[in-house]
């Protein structure tokens, strides 16, 4: 395994999606339209996004011994992802996500983690060599926190770049933040981590400063089509996004992170890497579904050439 490999430690789900006129309120039934199933899960989405963007990717994940798990692994193989570190769970089913997608592209998601909840630090230790020999570790918070902690510990001990997408939003210990090279929260996740509501550029900058105090080196606070605050200890810049007609925002953040990892692995400037990631995410929101929406490298390059 070369040092240009991106190792993703994270979840794999099957998404069940219903298009609805609007997201149902508590106790409300909304008659929907189109139903579809698609491969998803934050870890899997990021792995596929990185692979389609041109990266060499290895995924450490856990799926059930069921049809969903088998289909997921076969799909990863089609995307040239190294799957030999995906383990099977004979006690829990593969993860499932139920997703409502409104007419404006907004979504509401409930997840039954299944085998994802059984991805343990022991699995990380089993594949520690792959993490130590990679160039970048990319991870999220859809698997047990202790597993994420162990993965970042192994990567940090080897001096690897660590990208943490702190999603779904939850508090994390300072020891984790201190290991992170690049933290990529959206505004909700940034507020959970810092206690600072993100309402404008000033509050985003204040949240970034708070995260620097916790030990993070680079903070990228993503704000959808509005762009992102890209902050280092030396400077803070606003990176504009791309305005497109959104059909489904599911997995847009995952696509951003996977593409970002690829661009950074190619040793491009941080600003260029963020622009590349924005382009990939913008393309994805014009399509329905998580992994079906993820663009390939040629599409991203062509999109950037037009913009």
**CATH node for 5-306:** 3.40.1190.20
Q: Which two tokens stand for residue 172?
A: 């994390």
Mean pLDDT of 15-31: 90
Residue 225 DSSP symbol = G
- Half-sphere exposure in the Cβ direction for 257 (13 Å, CA): 35
Task: Give the list of residues 6+ apart from residue 305 with CB closer than 8 angstroms, or none.
Answer: none
CA dist., res. 174 & res. 227, Å (int): 27
Q: Does the pLDDT of residue 1 top 70, yes or no?
A: no
CA dist., res. 46 & res. 183, Å (int): 15
58, 6 Cβ separation under 8 angstroms: yes
Specify which residues 162 forms β-bridges with: 137
Residue with tokens 């909304």: 30
229, 208 Cβ separation under 8 angstroms: yes
Greater pLDDT, 173 or 1: 173
Task: List the catalytic residues.
Answer: 254
Is-above-0.85 flag for pTM?
A: yes
* 124-159 confidence digits (pLDDT tens): 999 999 999 999 999 999 999 999 999 999 999 999
| DSSP string computed for 257-285 | HHHHHHHHHTT--HHHHHHHHHHHHHHHT
CA distances from 21 to 32, 40, 101, 205 (A): 7, 22, 8, 36
pLDDT at 2: 54
Answer positive or negative: Cα dihedral of 38, 43, 46, 51: negative
pLDDT at 288: 83
């Amino acid at each position: 395994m070369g040092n240009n490999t991106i190792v993703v430690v994270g979840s794999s789900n099957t998404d069940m999606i219903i298009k609805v006129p609007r997201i149902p309120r508590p106790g409300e039934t909304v008659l929907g339209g189109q139903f579809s199933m698609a491969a998803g899960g934050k870890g899997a989405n990021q792995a596929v996004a990185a692979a389609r963007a041109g990266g060499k990717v290895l995924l450490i994940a856990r799926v059930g011994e069921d049809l969903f798990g088998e289909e997921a692994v076969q799909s990863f193989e089609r995307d040239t992802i190294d799957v030999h570190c995906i383990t099977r769970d004979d006690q829990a089913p593969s993860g499932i996500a139920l997703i409502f997608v409104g007419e404006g592209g907004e979504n509401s998601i409930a997840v039954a983690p299944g085998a994802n909840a059984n991805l343990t630090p022991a699995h990380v230790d089993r594949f520690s060599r792959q993490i130590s020999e990679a160039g970048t570790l990319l991870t999220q918070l859809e698997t047990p926190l202790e597993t994420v902690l162990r993965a970042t510990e192994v990567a940090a001990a080897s001096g690897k770049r660590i990208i943490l997408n702190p999603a779904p939003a939850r508090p994390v210990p300072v020891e984790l933040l201190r290991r992170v090279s690049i933290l990529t929260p959206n505004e909700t996740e940034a507020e959970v981590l810092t206690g600072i509501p993100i309402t404008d550029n000033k509050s985003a900058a204040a949240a970034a400063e708070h995260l620097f105090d916790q030990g993070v080196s680079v903070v990228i606070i993503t704000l959808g089509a509005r762009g992102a605050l890209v902050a280092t200890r030396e400077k803070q810049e606003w990176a504009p996004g791309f305005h497109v007609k959104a059909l489904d925002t599911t997995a847009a953040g995952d696509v951003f992170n996977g593409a970002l990892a690829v661009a950074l692995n190619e040793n491009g400037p941080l600003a260029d890497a963020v622009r590349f990631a924005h382009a990939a995410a913008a393309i994805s929101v014009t399509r329905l579904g998580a992994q079906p929406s993820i663009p390939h490298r040629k599409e991203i390059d062509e999109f950037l050439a037009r913009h």
